[in-house]
Structure formats: C-alpha cells, structure tokens
Structure 1
Amino acid sequence: MSEKEVNVILVGAKSIGQYGGYESFINKLLEYHKDEENLHYYVYCKANGSGCMDIGKFPGAKAVNETEFIYCNARGFLLHVPQIGAAQAIYYDVKALSEACKLIKKEQLKNPIVYIMACRIGPFMNHFVKKIHALGGKVYLNPDGHEWMRAKWSAPVRKYWKESERMMVKYADLSICDSKNIEKYIQEEYAGYKPKTTFIAYGSETTPSTMKNDDPKYISWLNEHGLREGEFYISVGRFVPENNFETMIREFMKSHSTKDFAIITTKDEKFLNALDEKLHFSQDKRIKFVGTVYDQELLKKIRERAYGYFHGHSVGGTNPSLLEALGSTKLNLLYDVGFNREVAEDGALYWTLEDGNLAKLIDQSDSMDEDELEEMGQKAKQRIKDEYSWQYICDKYTKVWEKNK
C-alpha cells in the first residue's frame, strides 16, 4: 500500500444516514470522498438494538457477508452489542476500537487515523491511544456537545460522561469540534492539557429536491397524515427531552395558528405518553406525530414545502437537522442558544423557554407575507452556501487527514 494513502477508521456512530448527527455526517463524508483514490474509509456500525444499521433498507449498501458491507467504496463492519442500558454505548465503542486495532495490524494499514465520535470511553482512552500509536496511527476525537448535560441520564451517568470527556480530550491527538462554541469550551475547560483542536462544522446542501410538488409519493405522505400543502410546521429530530419538544408542543397549542405541527421522529412511547399526560396534546388535532421519513428526497421536499421549521436542540454543536432546514425551509424558528445562533445568524427567528414566548412568535410568523418569508429563506440559504456546504466541509476533512501522511 502506498505511503501516500490514508486510512480513516470511523468509530462511534450507530449506523449510516439516519437522523443522528454522526450518522448523517458519515453518510455525506463517504459520499463526497467515494472517488478519492488515496483515501480509504472503514466504518463500524451496530448490528442490533436501537438505531442499528439495516443494510437491506439503506440504498447503495451492499452486503459482503453477515458482518461486512460496502457503501460508497468504504468498508463497513457490523458489531453485535448486548442490550445493557447506558453501558451498551461504552461496550460498543470499546469493541469497535478493539476491532479497529486488529484491522490495522492484520491489513498493515498505513497512516491510520482512528476517528472517535463522542466521549464515551474515557477510562479506556489512554490504553487505545498507546496501542494505536504503536501501530503507527493517530487518534482523533469529535467531542460532540456536552453529553453529560442530556436529561435522559441519571446523576451518576452524567458524572461518568463528564469525566470520560476530560480523559478523552486529554489523550486525543486532535479534537475536531463541530461548533466554535464547543471548541472554545474544550480550550477553556481543559486548558491544563493544552489540547490540540480544530473547527470543522457539519455540512448541508441548498440544492432543491428532485421531486416535483405534485409527486405521488409526496402527495401520498400529505394525505396519509392529513396535512395541507404549505400549511404545516415541522420538526425533525430525536424525541428526547433536551430537544425541547415539550416547549414546542405546549406553545403551539397556546398559539392561534390554523396550521398543523408535524413532528418527524422515532417514537419513544414512554416519553410520548408521559408528555401527553402532562400536555394532553392528543386532544389538539393540529399536533401530529408522523413517524420517520428515511427517503432523503421526500424529506427534502417536505422541508421545502413546510411553512416553517422548529428547532429545539439545547445540547450539542452544529446540528445536521438545523443545517438541512436552513438549506431547504424558508422560515426557521430556533431555540435561542449559542450554537444555534452561531449557525443561523440573521437567517432565522429565535425563541426562549419563557412561557408564551414561542406562542407569540408562531402567531407573528403566521402573519408574515410572501416577501418576508422569501427574504428569510434567502438569508438562511446564504448561511449554508457561505459556511456549511458539504463540499466545503468534506474538503476541510481531506486537509486534516492529509496532514497525517
């Protein structure tokens, strides 16, 4: 194998191309780099459990055998993970890193970079960094955005995530931060380690959907969920507390909007039922949980034809669903937090958790005229073109990988 070649092993995503940030990122990275002769990707994915990789449902993926597949000229490997609650994420990353070390050794991979996404395996980090260095490789980290702040974790688990983050930043050769806010936090919080960091955001596109407005698939989706063309707001993301679905639903119910609110998400029945007991949103016909949409062209068409998009993410860096909305939807209403403002700037409107704040913004948004909506849409698209196009982002990654030659 040529000394010019770089081998990048991606660890930490559950699969490729689903709603999670890392999954969306890997999908695009592989797509944009599929014809790079001297750049080879290896991806570890979950074979079972929540968010696992289903090769049969993923267009373009070809099975090699039961545990390996090819996608965009990258080699993918499926790992079985025991269903052991929060600990399964740690098990999964440790297993993937163990397998990555075996792969580097067995295939004598030159210039390997093991890119770990999220800070879950801090206590094991030094062990694996030493091992990978001994094999001639480097370990890069994407520290994500404050996993220890997520509401779903108990206090002891949160404490573990925070300590894990510290150890991973300490031992990583480079931390690639997807938000300037996250990079600043890493530099300040862990100044004692003098961490080496760089900023590369996630990307998006501004190209329109290939579907026409009267495409049968799109029309069928509208009819199935009782939605009217251009008369609905959407939100796309994981149905978890820190994405502020409770606030968005409660405030929409308070608003005087005659439009619908279509929530595109994987359903968490436990959280859903608890929320309904609190808000009684099932009694409001405007609130519609419409399930998932894995067809990317259909999802893009839905974004384009929605009246507006709600983004409630309060934890994390640059979020893919926000970028996709800015590239497709004219009117974007975002939770007012640093990394959302960093991305959208004046291309969106902002709301807080204050009682009645979002409801008032929805009523104001409903009364905007076509020129105002068009202007907001142009500003949003310009932000993507200037700073977040996938070509721009993937080219940045190429430069980072090449420094390791």
Structure 2
Amino acid sequence: MKHIFIIGSKGIPAKYGGFETFVDELTKRKKNSEITYHVSCMGENNDEHYYNGARCFNIKVPNVGSAKAVLYDLLSIQESIKYIKENNLSNCIVYVLACRVGPFFSKFKKELEDLGAKVWVNPDGHEWKRSKWNYWIKRYWKLSERLMVKHADLIICDSKGIESYITQEYHKYNPKTTFIAYGADVSLSPLEESDEKLLNWFQNFGINSNEYYLIVGRFVPENNYELIIREFMKTQSKKDLVIISNIEQNDFYNNLLQNTNFKLDKRIKFVGTVYDQDLLKKIRELAFGYFHGHEVGGTNPSLLEALASTKINLLLDVVFNKEVGSSGAIYFTKEEGNLASIVKSVEELQTEDINNLGIKAQNRILNEYSWDKIVSEYEKKFSF
C-alpha cells in the first residue's frame, strides 16, 4: 500500500481554489486501490473524517496573520510524521503543495528520510513575484522556494515553463523534476439559458447572452487589469467587459480608476465574485470572449476552464499561456493598441471561424488537460 500525505491545500471537499480542486479530483477519480490518501485540512478542531475515500485530518491553526499558511503547513507535516511513526507505515510520500516552509524543510526532510518516506513538492507559480508582497516577504518566498527545491526528492511542476525555470534557476542542486499539468473538464453546465438563477444574474448587471467579454481572476496587478481595460475602452465594441473578481477598494483599485477612468465607460462592469460553479460555468459558456492577462507562471485553472467553455480566448502572450492555449487561442501583447485591434478583428469573425476556435480550445483540454489524464499520470508516478 502506498500512503500519500497531501499538505498545503485548505482541504476537501473543495470550497476554495486550485489546489483544493486538484486534491478533490485526485481523490474522487482514484482508480488504484493500492493508494491511500491522507489529506491535511484547515479546520476548527483536530478531528478526522473521510471524503472520497481519503483520510482527511484537520489542523487547527492559530490566527497569526500572514504567517498562518506557513504554520498550517508546518503543523500538517508534523502531524504526518507523527501518524507515520504511530502506525509504523512504509511506502509513504509527503506531497507538499507550494513552497512556503523552505527554512524549516531540511529538519522535516531528515525525519521523513529516517522513516523511509519521500518528500515531493509542487512549486506552484512564481509566488515571490506577486505584487501584493513587500520586499521582505518576497525575499522569504524566494529563499523558501530555493530550499524546498534543494531538499525535495521530486519536484512536480504543473507547467513546462515552471519546470524549465526550476531546472535552470537551481541547476546546482540537480533537482529531479517532472511535469504533470493541472486539469479541467469539458462538460456543459447543467443550467439552462432559461434558468431563473442565470436570468436574475444577467438582469442584476444589465448583461445579455453572447454580448460580453469575461475576465475571471484575482484582483491583482500582475493579471493586467489596467492593460485590458485601457485597451478595451479604446474599441468601438458594443459588448460589455464583465469582470468577476474579489475586487477591493484598495490602492490598486484607486490607481486603476485614476489611470483609466473606467467608471465613465458603462461597458466596464465589475460584478464581484461567483461561487456557484454551475452558474460560473454557464456564464463562461455564454460569453462572446474571454480575456486572460495573467503573467505570473503556472497552469492557471481559470484559463483551463475558459478554454473548456468559451470559444474565443484572448491571452497575454507569455510562455505559460501559450503552453496551455497553443493554437486554441489568440494572443495579445502589451504594445499599445495591440489588444484593441484584436478585439476589432475577432468581432468581424464569421460564425464558422468562431466555432473552429472553440473546437481547438476544447481539444486542448481533452487531449492534454482532462482530469482523468492528470489523475492517471499522478497514480503512475505515485506507484512507481
């Protein structure tokens, strides 16, 4: 029996983001009966429960501000070591999602090594590049990444671009890496276009089916909201730009408003968040096009979901996005006027051309990013 301890997601059932969805799908679609999953979950107690056949162990974490995620990972690893010892387990892998605990990693690695357990790491994206962090926190993330790469037995990268970065940046450690992507599903939302939930959402924001472009993502500068809004405002498009995001009235928002005056353009619609996944999928399906301005690495879940559901996908021309979208998307640059001209050209496309783009986009998911394919690759790697 292989025992896989998964550290770093907030837990399952998934209620949050990418890592949580990954763990949910990994456990739900398990085919190999020789694998047992142990999933760390952030909780209000230290109880255990089972979900998707996985043993889920809660970790109660004191509220220590921005360090809470680091402490959560540390406590989760400690609990995993304790469980392995108490149950005299063999064939164990501790799989840590994200590089948060690098300065403490060598100690845990030695303990796990003495127990015969392997330690794998998923580095996620370039956390140390994110604009929300101050100088010292960025330094911490970079140091943490380096130390985790140095001590891990295997680095699993969900992007070939990230794998290339890891092998080049840390070549002196000769890291062992492999590529296994994130996943998505090509399936229609169960909601009909006549569903009251959908119609109410459209009515609340004055939106019409197939008459809007969509953005879904975190409200942070590295997702290039200012670029997309500024370029869209230059166009004569009659469609709306609908932005689904956790918008906050912060410095970024105020600077965005000052630099673009987007409130003067009635087409620009910030509509908050949508947590209902069936509704969100239907909103994607009924969008005319999708803008993706993310540039801080990795295989982005919202991009995969857009390719699976939206026919016209306009992506920022960076290596991570081109790796995922390939010929199933259209790419824009940061050059002034570039995106505005692309918007004009896609609105002149014939229906057949739009449908062909949609087919190519969905084929990217079916052929390279389906959850069944991803889970199969993980099980092969875990069983090796």
* Same topology, TM > 0.5: yes
Shorter-chain TM range is over 0.9
Q: Contact (CA 8 Å) 2:161, 2:297: kept in 1 or not? A: no
Q: Contact (CA 8 Å) 2:46, 2:59: kept in 1 or not? A: no
Q: Deviations over 1:218-254 (max 9, x none)?
A: 2222122221011111111211221112222222222
Question: Aligned in 2, Cα 1:205/1:108: closer, same or farther, shift over 3 Å?
Answer: same
Q: Contact (CA 8 Å) 2:228, 2:339: kept in 1 or not? A: yes
TM-aligned CA deviation for residue 71 of structure 1: 2.6
TM-aligned CA deviation for residue 36 of structure 1: 4.4
Residues 1:119 and 2:99 are matched in the alignment: yes
Residues 1:32 and 2:29 are matched in the alignment: yes
Which residue of 2 is the match for residue 281 of structure 1?
262
Q: What is the alpha-carbon distance in structure 2 between the residues aligned to residue 46 and residue 248 of structure 1?
A: 36
Q: What is the alpha-carbon distance in structure 1 between the residues aligned to residue 174 and residue 119 of structure 2?
A: 16
Q: What is the alpha-carbon distance in structure 2 between the residues aligned to residue 80 and residue 262 of structure 1?
A: 38
TM-aligned CA deviation for residue 208 of structure 1: 1.8
TM-aligned CA deviation for residue 217 of structure 1: 2.1
Q: What is the alpha-carbon distance in structure 2 between the residues aligned to residue 397 and residue 302 of structure 1?
A: 31
TM-aligned CA deviation for residue 196 of structure 1: 0.8
TM-aligned CA deviation for residue 272 of structure 1: 2.9
TM-score (ref. length: structure 1) = 0.89
Which residue of 1 is the match for residue 42 of structure 2?
46
Q: What is the alpha-carbon distance in structure 1 between the residues aligned to residue 158 and residue 261 of structure 2?
A: 37
Q: What is the alpha-carbon distance in structure 1 between the residues aligned to residue 364 and residue 213 of structure 2?
A: 21
Amino acid of the residue matched to residue 28 of structure 1?
Answer: E
Q: What is the alpha-carbon distance in structure 2 between the residues aligned to residue 119 and residue 181 of structure 1?
A: 17
Aligned length in residues: 382
Q: Which of 169, 180, 187 is 2:149 aligned to?
A: 169
Amino acid of the residue matched to residue 188 of structure 2?
Answer: P
TM-aligned CA deviation for residue 15 of structure 1: 4.3
TM-aligned CA deviation for residue 114 of structure 1: 1.0
Higher mean C-alpha displacement, 392-401 vs 224-233: 224-233
Q: Which of 2, 6, 9 is 1:6 aligned to?
A: 2
What pairs up with 1:159-238 in 2 under 5 angstroms?
159-238=139-218
Please tell me the root mean square deviation across aligned C-alpha atoms, in Å.
2.0
Q: Contact (CA 8 Å) 1:24, 1:320: kept in 2 or not? A: no
Q: What is the alpha-carbon distance in structure 1 between the residues aligned to residue 205 and residue 29 of structure 2?
A: 34
Question: Aligned in 2, Cα 1:31/1:133: closer, same or farther, shift over 3 Å?
Answer: same
Q: What is the alpha-carbon distance in structure 2 between the residues aligned to residue 390 and residue 31 of structure 1?
A: 10
TM-aligned CA deviation for residue 268 of structure 1: 2.7
Amino acid of the residue matched to residue 257 of structure 2?
Answer: D
What pairs up with 1:193-342 in 2 under 5 angstroms?
193-270=173-250, 271-342=252-323
TM-aligned CA deviation for residue 346 of structure 1: 1.1
Q: What is the alpha-carbon distance in structure 2 between the residues aligned to residue 46 and residue 333 of structure 1?
A: 36
Structure 1, unmatched stretches of 5+, are 49-64
SS where residue 195 of structure 1 aligns?
coil
Which residue of 2 is the match for residue 58 of structure 1?
none
TM-aligned CA deviation for residue 275 of structure 1: 2.5
Q: What is the alpha-carbon distance in structure 1 between the residues aligned to residue 11 and residue 202 of structure 2?
A: 28
Q: What is the alpha-carbon distance in structure 1 between the residues aligned to residue 293 and residue 21 of structure 2?
A: 18
State percent identity of aligned pairs. 51
Higher mean C-alpha displacement, 186-195 vs 266-275: 266-275
